[in-house]
Amino acid sequence: MEEKKLNKYEQHRLEKAEREKMKHGHQRRHQLWRYALWLGVLVLLVGTIWQVTRLVSDGSKIPTTATSTTSILAIKDSDWKIGSTTSPVALIEYSDFQCPACAEYSKLVDRLKKDYPEKLTVVYRHYPWFFHLQAMNAALASEAAGVQGQFWAMHDLLFAKQKDWSGTTGQEIFVTYAQTLNLDLPAFRLAMTDKNLRAKIEGQLAEGKSLGIDYTPAFALNGKIIANPRSYEEFKRVIDQAL
């Protein structure tokens, strides 16, 4: 049986139908691709939220009883401090070297150190936020400098040059700061990879989380978390009241 030949009109209709079929198929594939993309974004978003929640809540495993709070906010031998442990006022600061607000408050704390040399003990503790990509490296740099007796010098340098290193990656820029402070560079590099120093930083972060700290800087005065003073004068009044 001979195949029926199509006239021009029928051939045109057939070709048009094929084009429409291909067009709809392409649109369907594009729509499915968009759905898959949005699903992937949704999964990534949910995973990110879960991860952030897990990181922030890790410290909540430590009980926040009055006893544990008192213990956490007591000055420890491992703390970096300026002033005598017998000073009538102890100010503990939980801070992130990459936090702009921490850099500003560090200037106020420096003034307090000078104005209350015998009456105030200032303690620095680490609270590096995970979203500040260089915060942990900066904290490690301060601890590595501390091994050579230069914690506070590195502390001041990191805050003074915060804008310079915040946009970098890796540890090399901190090595240049160690060179500026005339530190032993091979020893400094080795200390930057010291697991015990990292554990100290992470331990202070976990303790801060257990206290409910969710901002930096955060201050504790004589064992109690206080609201951040809004100016140096207000900060000074808080110290005077404690005295």
pLDDT by residue (tens digit) across 129-159?
999 999 999 999 999 999 999 999 999 999 9
User: What is the structure's pLDDT at 35?
Assistant: 64
Residue 131: which of 170, 164, 174, 98 has the closest Cα?
A: 98
Domain regions of the chain by residue span: 1-61, 66-242
User: What is the structure's pLDDT at 221?
Assistant: 97
User: What is the structure's pLDDT at 39?
Assistant: 62
**CA-based Rg of the chain, rounded to a whole angstrom?**
29
* For residues 56-76, average pLDDT: 65
Q: Compare 23 and 71 and report the one with higher pLDDT.
A: 71
* For residues 187-194, average pLDDT: 98
Query: pLDDT tens across 18-41, in order?
Result: 676 666 666 667 676 666 666 655
* For residues 61-70, average pLDDT: 60
* For residues 38-47, average pLDDT: 53
Residue 138: which of 178, 86, 79 has the closest Cα?
A: 178
CA dist 228 and 171 (Å) reads: 31
Q: How does residue 9 score in pLDDT terms, banded at 50, 70 and 90?
A: low
Residue 238: which of 123, 120, 94, 101 has the closest Cα?
A: 120
- 239 pLDDT higher than 60: yes
Q: Compare 131 and 68 and report the one with higher pLDDT.
A: 131
- 16 pLDDT higher than 70: no
User: What is the structure's pLDDT at 84?
Assistant: 77
CA dist 198 and 202 (Å) reads: 6
- 227 pLDDT higher than 80: yes
pTM given for the model: 0.73
Look at 76-85, 118-127, 185-194 and tell me which has the smallest mean pLDDT: 76-85
**Tokens 């809540």 -> residue:** 57
User: What is the structure's pLDDT at 65?
Assistant: 53
Contacts (Cβ under 8 Å, ≥6 apart) of 177: 141, 154, 157, 158, 161, 165
* For residues 50-60, average pLDDT: 41
Give the CATH number of domain 66-242.
3.40.30.10
* For residues 164-185, average pLDDT: 97
Q: How does residue 48 score in pLDDT terms, banded at 50, 70 and 90?
A: very low
- 56 pLDDT higher than 60: no
